[in-house]
Structure 1
Amino acid sequence: MHYPPDFHPLDALSECIAKAAFLADTVSFIAEDPKYDLSPKGLYGLGLYLSELERSIEFVKKKLEEKEA
């Protein structure tokens, strides 16, 4: 996700927490039953979701470092 320059880092952090919780729920649900084996497209989708989460965390880190400087 691309955040506007004035987006508060705590709002972005809140989004990161929600995304991480969703991801944990999804992985737990898949792990509960072997019939929910992920296809290559499903794994690719999870990879994209993780990449988006990583970008969000990097945004928060950068903004907080700017505020400290």
Structure 2
Amino acid sequence: MLDCLTPELYDVYVVCATAKELWDALDKKYATEDAGSKKFLVAKFLKFKMEDNKPVVSQVEELQIIVHEIL
């Protein structure tokens, strides 16, 4: 598995003794980042407000993009 990593990641994760340990470390790192981005998108969705000075169609498109990214 280590051979599939970029040189930068290899240097960080070469200390992992087993494939499971490596997998768990990578999963923890990237699953946490994904959860953080989902939280950001949900917060963006909850704070979304329609504005009178913008066209309705563009605002609906913006909202659809946010929903699509969450899904």
TM normalised by structure 1 equals: 0.44
Task: Please tell me whether Structure 1 or Structure 2 has the larger radius of gyration of its CA atoms.
Answer: 2
TM normalised by structure 2 equals: 0.43
Higher helix share: 1
